[in-house]
C-alpha cells in the first residue's frame, strides 16, 4: 500500500489528489511541521532534504512532489494521468509539469519564504517583486486555458492536480488565480471533482470560493 508523508496544504497536496483519484487504499502519515518533524532523524533518513512530501511504495522511497505525481501516474497507466511515450500530448505535458514545479512553484517559494533567499531585512521588496512575477505566470496560464477544461489535451492529467495545488497556495495574492476568467472557470470545474473534494475535506480546506 502507498504511504504518503504529508502536511495539510503543503507540497504533498498534489500527490494526495493523485492518490485519491487512483481509487486505491493508501496511508497518510502526518509530518508535524509545527514540531519541525520534517527535520527529525527518522524523517531525514527517508528524505535528506527535510521537505514534505515523501512517498513509500514497498522498497521504493521517492521525494519531490512532481516526481511523486509522475511516479504514481506512470505506475497506474489505466488512470491515464500521464500521457504515454509516443502520445502526441506527451511533449506539452512534460513541458508544463516542469514549468509548474520548476518555475511557478519555485517563485511561490521565494514569495512565501523571502527570508530564506535574502539576508536583507526588507522582505517587502522581494514579496512585491514576486507578486508581479507570479501574476505574470498566472496570466500566461490563464491564456493557455482559454476554452479548455484541462491544461493538456482533453483529459485530466497530473498537471491539473498540480495546478490546483499551486492555485490554492496563490489565493492570498493581490491578483489570485480566481481573478482570471479562464482560470476561474477551470478551477471551479476541478473543484467539483470527487478527489479534489475529498482531499480538501481531509486537509480542511473550504472550497466555498470555488463555487
Q: Which residues bind ligand GSH (CB under 6 A)?
A: 10-11, 38, 50-53, 64-65, 101
Q: Which three cell numbers stand for residue 104?
A: 511557478
Residue nearest to ligand GSH (CB): 65
Which among 62, 80, 50 is positioned nearest to 156, based on CA atoms?
80
Rounded least distance, CB 209 to ligand GSH, Å: 20
CA–CA dist 64, 110 (Å, integer): 17
Rounded least distance, CB 185 to ligand GSH, Å: 27
Rounded least distance, CB 98 to ligand GSH, Å: 12
Rounded least distance, CB 54 to ligand GSH, Å: 9
Which residue, 18 or 52, has its beta carbon nearer to ligand GSH?
52
Rounded least distance, CB 94 to ligand GSH, Å: 16
Provide CB contacts within 8 A for 182, sequence distance 6+.
142, 143, 145, 146, 147, 148
Please give, one letter per residue, the 3-state secondary structure of 146-181.
Answer: CCCCCCCCCCCCHHHHHHHHHHHHHHHCCCCHHHCH
For the chain, helix, strand, coil in percent to 5 are: 60, 10, 35
Instruction: Give the SS3 label for residue 118.
Output: coil
Which residue, 12 or 135, has its beta carbon nearer to ligand GSH?
12
Which residue, 65 or 130, has its beta carbon nearer to ligand GSH?
65
Rounded least distance, CB 78 to ligand GSH, Å: 25
Task: Give the count of beta carbons closer than 10 Å to the beta carbon of residue 6.
Answer: 24
Which residue, 4 or 52, has its beta carbon nearer to ligand GSH?
52
Which residue, 100 or 196, has its beta carbon nearer to ligand GSH?
100
Which residue, 30 or 139, has its beta carbon nearer to ligand GSH?
30
Q: Which three cell numbers stand for residue 32?
A: 508535524
Q: Which residue has the cell 473543484?
A: 191
Amino acid at each position: 500500500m502507498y504511504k504518503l508523508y504529508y502536511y495539510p496544504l503543503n507540497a504533498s497536496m498534489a500527490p494526495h489528489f493523485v492518490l485519491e483519484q487512483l481509487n486505491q487504499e493508501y496511508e497518510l502519515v502526518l509530518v508535524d511541521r509545527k514540531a519541525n518533524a520534517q527535520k527529525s532523524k527518522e524523517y531525514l533518513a527517508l528524505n535528506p532534504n527535510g521537505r514534505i512530501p515523501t512517498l513509500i511504495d514497498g522498497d521504493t522511497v521517492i521525494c519531490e512532489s512532481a516526481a511523486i505525481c509522475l511516479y504514481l501516474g506512470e505506475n497506474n497507466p489505466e488512470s491515464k494521468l500521464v500521457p504515454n511515450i509516443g502520445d502526441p500530448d506527451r511533449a506539452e505535458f512534460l513541458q508544463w509539469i516542469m514549468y509548474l514545479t520548476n518555475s511557478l512553484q519555485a517563485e511561490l517559494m521565494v514569495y512565501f519564504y523571502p527570508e530564506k533567499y535574502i539576508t536583507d531585512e526588507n522582505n517587502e521588496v522581494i514579496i512585491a517583486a514576486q507578486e508581479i512575477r507570479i501574476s505574470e505566470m498566472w496570466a500566461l496560464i490563464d491564456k493557455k486555458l482559454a476554452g479548455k477544461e484541462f491544461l493538456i489535451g482533453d483529459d485530466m492529467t497530473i498537471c491539473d492536480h498540480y495546478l490546483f495545488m499551486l492555485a490554492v497556495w496563490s489565493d492570498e495574492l493581490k491578483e489570485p488565480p480566481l481573478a482570471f476568467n479562464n482560470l476561474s472557470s477551470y478551477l471551479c470545474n476541478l473543484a467539483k471533482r470527487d478527489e479534489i473534494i475529498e482531499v480538501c475535506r481531509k486537509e480542511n480546506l473550504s472550497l466555498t470560493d470555488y463555487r
